[in-house]
Chain A
């Protein structure tokens, strides 16, 4: 049994796997024993339904997501809402296409047992999600099962017990389980996004740090807009945020706990510092510090606040990003003329230039998988989001617009979120795109939005 804490409430949520349902004999070809063997194993070896998302464009898998069965009361509402959230997540990924519920033949109550797979094959479903919601003394218990319709077997099943208020997180955990079972990659649905919310005219923007679930739900502001603020970043555990704040005419990096924390300056210096990034182990933060008009990256030990220099010399070095193993840092520097990308060790030292294309490069972001670095490339009047390997090879541009910038990664390294500014420079929106360059989609925000950062999977 796994246990995790809801960071919003610190209430326990319990998750355990469900064994396969036993076949009760009257289903045609398979006897009970054989079915038990097949289903109980939940084994990959038997499973036919799988998709390799590393291959670029994939035809979305038609999936039926049934309303869940419910005992009544609060469960009845959630029995419709939880599948809705799952559908929105899976459809948004571009890898799935939810089949219209109107077409479903078998009802939720009947789906407490084995599905009639023939009914689901008839509407061309390749996968089926069924579930049950029941009220419990501690809140709700949700069981869900993912079925391979053509293979006629359960692929995975989970029971999640949690406070009813955490129902969206339950839906996200189920979505992650489905995504992972079918793609073989971790999901990214039980996550949050922190970003800069912007309002007002271009020359007098008001900016606030905002936080929301990955799908835009539970939106709230962390700062009040009285002071200009940019560039928020999550700590690896998702509990803290660091950002640039213009307080008292001194733009510096501040840090706070998301829940009830008070803002605290990262380093006690009057010098401008900005562009905070946490190390993967959460023990260090990188910041860019003004040294008389030159800018260098400094590592700050979060326990002792001792500083260690990562880059040195004249010019501008900023926008660092750690490799997921914490051993290397990619950053942006104009040391060779125009702004380009460089890689150095986590302790600093010699830096190797990795970008050699036309135009300017900026905002490198190392994928959590370690295999790619996302970046901004500005040339020919367009801003592009691109990806390259950490040695600079295999560069590909995956977006183009008047102004695309600030890429960061979903925790599974398959999706990049970035900021798109419409021509004219005031309308700013967040977009997500698969690393393949497909399935570009708007990430809805209530106001203009910039500088997104994607949390890891919530603990």
Chain B
């Protein structure tokens, strides 16, 4: 009558492909530009705020056209970006603050103490090489690590918020090792004042 032939299970093509260990799994050695230079570079990209992270915050103080000649307004996001460094970077799947990150945060802490009316949100981000949910947690863990360090340096906790966007708000939309290194970050964003 009806002959239904069940063939033996063929192994899916994805299996058993054990090639060389990929480089992104190895401890990464990426040369990042010194923070100040990075900030300058970012600022040079555009006269409007170069970072993408403001979307949720609704609140970076932008430098208007007149400030281009006179430099950023003291206490503004542009001031933080250009003169202090608004972001710190992390290794793959890590929320550990390295020496460069700590020194950037030390400058941020000093700067925040100069402007006591300013409050800030630390936004945590990841690269795209992980699941969305795990990265939401990892991003928040990075933001928390940066915020905790800032408060250990004397910035009152009441002036600091954290938020995570996981892998969904990359600074660099590329998909290279370099882009991923720039996206594993915590960015300090000045809250809008009302």
Contacts and interface: CB of A to CB of B under 8 A. Distances in A.
Q: Do A and B come from one complex?
A: yes
Given A203-B52, A398-B14, A318 B7 contact: no
Dominant secondary structure of chain B at its interface with chain A:
loop
Contacts of B1: 48-49, 150-151
B144 A293 contact: yes
B157 to A, nearest CB: 11
B163 A55 contact: no
B194 to A, nearest CB: 14
Interface in B125-140: 128-134, 136-138, 140
Contacts of A228: 56, 165, 168
Interface string A396-435: 1111100101100000000000000101111000000000
Interface residues of B, number: 55
B2 A362 contact: no
Interface stretch (B15-23, B36-44, B79-87, B110-118): B15-23
Contacts of B164: 251, 272
Q: Which of B52, B121, B132, B134 has the most CB of A within 10 A?
A: B134
Contacts of B24: 381
Nearest to B53: A203
B95 interface: yes
B129 A288 contact: no
Given A203-B173, A406-B131, A295 B140 contact: yes
Contact of A378 (B129, B133, B140): B129
A291 to B, nearest CB: 10
A58 B2 CA distance: 14
Contact of B134 (A50, A230, A316, A421): A316
Given A56-B7, A59-B7, A293-B148, A274 B136 contact: yes
A396 B12 contact: yes
B70 interface: no
Contact of B170 (A202, A251, A274): A202
Contacts of B78: none
B12 A249 contact: no
Interface string B134-165: 10111011011100100000000000010111
B2 A204 contact: no
Contacts of A406: 131-132
Interface of B: 1-2, 4-15, 17-22, 24-25, 52, 55-57, 93, 95, 121, 128-134, 136-138, 140-141, 143-145, 148, 161, 163-165, 168-171, 173, 175
Given A150-B2, A380-B19, 12 more contacts: A49-B4, A203-B173, A230-B168, A251-B164, A316-B137, A318-B136, A319-B131, A332-B134, A362-B130, A405-B131, A406-B132, A450-B132
